[in-house]
Amino acid sequence: MISKPENQFYISGFSGGEGVVAVTCRGAAIITDSRYTEQAKTEAPGFAILEQKAGVSPFEVCANNFKSEIKNVGFESHYITYDQFEDIKKYFEGIDVKPAGSLVEELRTIKEPHEIEMIKKAQEITDKTFVHILKYIKPGVAEKDLACEMEYFMKKNGADGIAFDTILASGPRSSLPHGRASGRKIQYGDFITMDFGARYSWYCSDMTRTVFLGRPDDTQVKIYNIVLEAQKRALEYIKSGLLGKDVDRLAREVIDKSGYGNNFGHGLGHGVGIEIHESPRLSPKGDMELLPGMVVTVEPGIYIENYGGVRIEDMVVVTQNGCDNLTKSDKHLILL
Ligand SMILES: [Mn+2]
């Protein structure tokens, strides 16, 4: 029984996100309420559509229809609530109820060719947005105004929406790895970190660029180049067969050796797909093996409190011998 909307979509094509997608050895069904039954028929041919009346639990409908033909029932233990779990136990009494963890998420780690096409389209819009926004970065413009323009531009250029709330952090705020756009006005001497992405037909893109307004000093140039070197090293060696932590180490070693190891607190990257953050993780604890067709970000950073920070993020498809970089935007230090 699949409850998580992203997984329901992946398995069936149903985008309503309400109810349960059930798969048995003999067939498959979508259990949802009348707001979504017509939509489900169109989106998920091949699935029986079972209507759940108001006030009735989808788990009860599922049990009524399938209990007699099954021995076990799996549920998404990382997603459903304790109350829902109590319901499942009640309606499936006498059947073995098993936590099915992240079964569907594991299937999702390796992208099918059509999924990679959607991610590519999302990234094309994102790359185009980066070129567009550079014209707007001027002293006195608020971070929020820039983020707003980026989000509008993405939608005007084919995105179904944004993949996540735009991160736009300037000057000392750029030390916040996930600093949401604020009312702060851009000034000369600022690093401006922009982390953003478009959503295209459910699929996300994710990219970060840090640019500079004015003339950077030697330390600012040095920090930027360390991050760039760390990213380039990981991109050069990433390939199928390495573990997430191996790729993380490639970049982390560059930053450690430069003396900024304590200023790179997060993992190197993460999978991207229907969700903006998914498996595999590229981090010191990432023990999943990379395989062809996985889409991951490579995004080292250096962050110094009350001073500023730099992050550079590309999104790549892992291949047998390397990777295919989907991010085409410039990444030398751009001075505005
Ligand atoms: Mn990212």
* Centroid of ligand 1 to alpha carbon of 313 (angstroms): 7
Residues at Cβ < 5 Å from ligand 1 ion:
206, 297
Query: Which of 74, 108, 142 finishes a domain?
Result: 108
Is the residue at 278 inside a domain?
Answer: yes
* Centroid of ligand 1 to alpha carbon of 312 (angstroms): 10
Query: Which of 108, 135, 153 finishes a domain?
Result: 108
12 and 97 assigned to the same domain: yes
* Centroid of ligand 1 to alpha carbon of 176 (angstroms): 14
Number of structural domains the chain divides into:
2
* Centroid of ligand 1 to alpha carbon of 214 (angstroms): 27
Q: Quick one: which of 210, 204, 184 has its CA closest to 130?
A: 210
Query: Which of 52, 73, 108 finishes a domain?
Result: 108
What is the pTM assigned to this prediction?
Answer: 0.94
* Centroid of ligand 1 to alpha carbon of 66 (angstroms): 41
- CB-count burial class (<10 Å; 0-12, 13-18, 19+) for 219: exposed
Domain with 213 in it = 113-325
CA distance 150 to 139: 17
* Centroid of ligand 1 to alpha carbon of 206 (angstroms): 5
* Centroid of ligand 1 to alpha carbon of 235 (angstroms): 15
177 and 302 assigned to the same domain: yes
CA distance 298 to 208: 10
Q: Long-range pairs for 16-24 at CB < 8 Å and ≥24 separation? A: 16/40, 16/43, 19/52, 19/58, 20/58, 20/59, 20/61, 20/62, 21/47, 22/62, 22/65, 22/66, 24/66, 24/69, 24/70
Please state whether the peptide bond connecting residue 216 to the residue before it is cis, i.e. omega within 30 degrees of 0. no
Per-residue tens of pLDDT for the chain, all 336 residues: 999 999 999 999 999 999 999 999 989 999 999 999 999 999 999 999 999 999 999 999 999 999 999 999 999 999 999 999 999 999 999 999 999 989 999 999 999 999 999 999 999 999 999 999 999 999 999 999 999 999 999 999 999 999 999 999 999 999 999 889 999 999 999 999 999 999 999 999 999 999 999 999 999 999 999 999 999 999 999 999 999 999 999 999 999 999 999 999 999 999 999 999 999 999 999 999 999 999 999 999 999 999 999 999 999 999 999 999 999 999 999 999
85 and 179 assigned to the same domain: no
Is the residue at 144 inside a domain?
Answer: yes
169 and 284 assigned to the same domain: yes
Is the residue at 330 inside a domain?
Answer: no
Q: What is the CATH number of the domain that holds 220?
A: 3.90.230.10
210 and 304 assigned to the same domain: yes
* Centroid of ligand 1 to alpha carbon of 65 (angstroms): 42
**Which tokens sit at 145?**
């105004």
